[in-house]
Amino acid sequence: MAKKQPAAKPAPSKAVSTPQPEVKTSFFNGLFWRTHWIPALLMMLVSVNLYYASTKFGYVLDDEMVIWKNTYVQDGVSGIGKIFGADSFMGYFQKKEDLYKVEGGRYRPLSLATFALETELFGKDKADLPKEAPTRGVPTVQGRGNPQISHWINVLLYGANGILLYAVLLGLFPLSDGKKWYTSVAFWASMLFVFHPLHSECVANIKGRDEIMALMGSLAALYATMKYFDTQQKRWLAFSAVWFLLGLFAKENTLTFIAVIPLTVWFFGRVPASRVATAAAPLLLAAFIFIAMRYNALGYMLSHGKTNNDLMNDSFLGMNLGERTATIFLTLGWYIKLLIYPSPLTHDYYPYHVPKVNWSDWRALLSLALYVGGTVWALRTLRQRKVPAYAILFFMLTLSIVSNLFVSVGSFMNERFVYMPSVGYCILVAWALFEWLPRFAENNAAVKWAGYAVLAPVLGFFAWKTLQRVPDWENMLTLNTSAVIASPNSARAQSFYTTALYQYTYNTTTDKEEKLRLVDTMAVHAKRALDIYPNYGSAWVMYCNIAFARFEQDHQMDRLFNELTYCLEHNPSNTLMRNNIDSYMKYLATSGGNPNKICAFAYRIGYEEFYKKRKDIKSALQFLNYGDMTQWHDARLYDALVEVYTAAGQPQKAAEMKAKGDAARAY
């Protein structure tokens, strides 16, 4: 679909835009590939060369939740029905109440269905190293599946994404007579998109396929709608509905194209508003089907209504309205900065890598001015068909759903959230360099080549930055090593780095001095995580596990019990940490550990901390009984057990403990 050129005579008011010659190069027939195979091949080659290293990687981050620990996905084809009938994390959590641990709901069955198909076709195998599974509650690093195949699919889909974007933009910015593809806005906008390092998370992380497929479905729906207006063939409306529904099944942000598609055909095709509404009907039908299926799977629309008190699942927890909105606009400004200068890159924008700010912060005020000013300018100039206005609105519309302004996404920001909006940025830059700037060229050769002179170093920098960033996604250790450097103020980055060190290095090292050095390093980062977020449950688990690891190297029981006391005094309700302590205390009490010190610890924590201070009889008995397991003659311990069992209403156990106490005093 090309922009209409001024006619010699006014067209009738109800005229429909006439098909342009350029649109015959259909993406779905041989003509596009015969005439544009070189730029298409270039985009695919760029994708493969930039991301080839990722095809040898394993699973990281949420791959665990959507692939190798998702039972529906691991069921292969037989699990696809369950995938389309439930929250995308249900196959991982198994229990509906556990889904409330994360903010909102996720219904993105399409990418999970492709993972299930890959499992069916390529089988399951041990796919990640090291082979040794960590103990004491540290998450396993092993995956089941074939991640290398999944990585290859991501890379090829990304290249296809660039080619589809090129085909769509050719309809919006057609090649004029004699103009070559390598001078077009369509080519350079698409190439800028493929090169952009901000997309590395979507490609190098297998889970990021939902973003890639969502944009593919959205662009394909836009392309089909354009073809409808060019050919007047209603089958294209059906295609637009199907592609749009597939995009929605990939990820919910496809919904923003309900506004983007009508805006595009109105802006570039000068289609009357009544016809735009007709074309939007199939999109609305697809959206209705998706929303109905989503509601049926999740049981709610936007929020499960359960209170979430975990800062890692609701980054805005504890903020007032002013702080929340100012911090949101800080992140929105951050997106613009990263699109222009994508460095440093990190997967971790959790508290408090993104700082909590209020409206006295100039960065929030500048971002507010940019967004409000840009939106107002774009709306005021839209009827003049200025391409920057379209590009700005494309960016604003597609970013809106993940901006936290209207729907909470649980985290401050993520680089993958601007995968779709970045198309607007790429259009704006390419248009400025290859359509707006050449207007000043005429006979000035320097100006004529200015676009290439500007874009060449930009693409070079983008390529270097992408190639530098991709290796970070090899495994959890490499990823979190980079994160702890780029995001030192993130509690999550500090804690994840500690866990990765434990999994990938400490557990596989046999040298005692190296293990002690690693223990010291892990302790520093775990403590840093707790300094940032004192109630961080995962960090407390690792802090406790580090105490166990240190004891295994230095055998200093006093230091171990001091560390465990610190953990239990500050985070006594941490279930996983308590389970780990329970297992280790039973091991110490029954394996010949110093019984006197074990009994002293059991008394201090069981009687003084949990019984006297917290009035927690169940926990008091749990810890006091560690001392009883040693069969050490500690009368004070048994006196405490008598008191607690009496308070618990268990007179027989109290009598039994009294007898043991009497025997201890007589010993």
Query: What three-state secondary structure class fits 126?
Result: strand
Q: What is the pLDDT of residue 191?
A: 97
Cα–Cα distance for residue pair 266/289, rounded to 1 Å: 25
Q: Are 419 and 202 in contact (CB under 8 A)?
A: yes
Mean pLDDT in the chain?
A: 88
pLDDT digits (tens, 9 = 90+) for 289-319: 999 999 998 887 777 667 778 888 889 998 9
What does the DSSP 8-state code read for residue 256? G
Q: Can you name the residues that pair with 144 across neighbouring β-strands?
A: 126
Residue 37 burial (CB count, 10 A): 12
Cα–Cα distance for residue pair 58/149, rounded to 1 Å: 10
Least confident of 176-180, 473-477, 636-640: 176-180
pLDDT of residue 160 exceeding 50, the answer is: yes
Q: Are 53 and 469 in contact (CB under 8 A)?
A: no
Q: DSSP letter string over 200-231?
A: HHHHHSGGGHHHHHHHHHHHHHHHHHHHHHHH
Q: Which pair of tokens denotes residue 416? A: 């993958």
- Report helix angle 491-504 to 537-554, nearest 10: 40
Q: DSSP letter string over 602-631?
A: HIIIIIIIIIIIT--HHHHHHHHHHHHHTT
Residue 9 CA from chain centroid, whole number? 53
Average pLDDT of the residues in 100-120: 87
Confidence of residue 127 (pLDDT cuts 50, 70, 90): very low
Average pLDDT of the residues in 68-72: 91
Q: Which pair of tokens denotes residue 120? A: 């069916």
Average pLDDT of the residues in 481-493: 96
pLDDT digits (tens, 9 = 90+) for 443-483: 666 667 888 889 999 999 999 999 999 999 999 999 999 99
Q: Which pair of tokens denotes residue 494? A: 């500090």
Query: What three-state secondary structure class fits 661?
Result: helix
User: CA 488, 202, 219 angle in degrees (round to 5)?
Assistant: 140
Query: What three-state secondary structure class fits 132?
Result: coil
Cα–Cα distance for residue pair 591/519, rounded to 1 Å: 23
Q: Which pair of tokens denotes residue 412? A: 């401050």
User: CA 369, 375, 381 angle in degrees (round to 5)?
Assistant: 125
Alpha-carbon distance values, 205 to 402, 445, 505 (Å): 19, 43, 22
Q: Which residue bears the tokens 């392309």?
A: 223
Q: Are 290 and 81 in contact (CB under 8 A)?
A: no
Confidence of residue 16 (pLDDT cuts 50, 70, 90): very low
Cα–Cα distance for residue pair 229/18, rounded to 1 Å: 8
Q: What pTM was estimated for this model as a whole?
A: 0.89
Q: Which pair of tokens denotes residue 63? A: 């791959």
pLDDT digits (tens, 9 = 90+) for 224-267: 999 998 888 899 999 999 999 999 999 999 999 999 999 999 99
pLDDT of residue 4 exceeding 60, the answer is: no
